Amino acid sequence: MSTTSKPAPRQHASTGPAGPVVPEPSHAERSRTLLSLVSVGMLSTMSKKLAGFPFGSLMPFAMDAAGRPIFLISNMAMHTQNLREDGRCSLFVMQAAADGDPLGAARATLVGNAKVVAEEEKAAVKEIYLARHANASYWVDFADFHFFRLEPVDMYYVGGFGVMGWVEAEDFAGAKADSLAEAAAGIMAHMNADHVESMVTLAKAYAGIEGSEAAMTSVDRLGFTLRLKTADGMKGPRINFLREVSTPQETRMMLVEMVRAAKAKETV
């Protein structure tokens, strides 16, 4: 799995001085991770009734191996009528805001063209979709329901404050979800509930920032991000692990190792 050691070529401009570059998952990987965890988004289609206006709909979706969203939609739905007239659309997805601040949550917008899935592909697509939306088995075979698939043309990823950029469709298709995707929420909840002092220690030792309070806002196989309360205001340092991890157990052991090393350094 690839990593980004420098700003993505299409990285959105940000304010403030540039900090040190640290390896972290690319926007493409982060986007794939997000879509692997979220199963409902907002589909915006081109309105058939009001030409030129976007029409937003709540949309359950599944994702195939190439990262293409799959929809199961009824002929009666307004978005289906819109797509049959004009396949151009976008799908907006967002992770739950863990700390109650939606602007700090990861989100992505996929822009592309949605088309009806070919008859010879329906069986495979149906299996993918029902694996994520089991309740759809009650209406999946109704005559007025059809599978559509969104072929991404481009996408835009926002990972929180100051983390944003465009992602090429080809890069998104070739990316994989982070190995800690399913476990990240539990790791953050545990650290924020029981190890605030340890995170303050990590921030001082590995980011050179002294803080009075800390909360983990993201974690992946390469490292984690903190929201740190300091005398100069809130800061959000990224801290890399000493080695790549792939499981919750490896993550726990790595954090323990880093805290011990930081405390040992303080006593020297």
Domain boundaries along the sequence of the chain: 12-174, 184-267
Q: Return the CATH number of the domain spanning residue range 184-267.
A: 3.20.180.10
Determine which of 85-99, 138-152, 231-245 has the lowest per-residue pLDDT on average.
85-99
pLDDT at 164 over 80: yes
Q: For the segment 37-93, what is each residue's pLDDT rounded down to a tens digit?
A: 999 999 999 999 999 999 999 999 999 999 999 999 999 999 999 999 999 999 999
Q: For the segment 116-149, what is each residue's pLDDT rounded down to a tens digit?
A: 999 999 999 999 999 999 999 999 999 999 999 9
- Distance, in Å, from the CA atom of 67 to the CA atom of 48, rounded to the nearest integer, reads 27
Rg (CA), the chain: 21
What pLDDT score does 159 carry?
A: 84
| CATH H-level superfamily of 12-174 | Electron Transport, Fmn-binding Protein; Chain A (2.30.110.10)
The model's confidence at residue 217, banded by pLDDT at 50, 70 and 90, is confident
The model's confidence at residue 2, banded by pLDDT at 50, 70 and 90, is very low
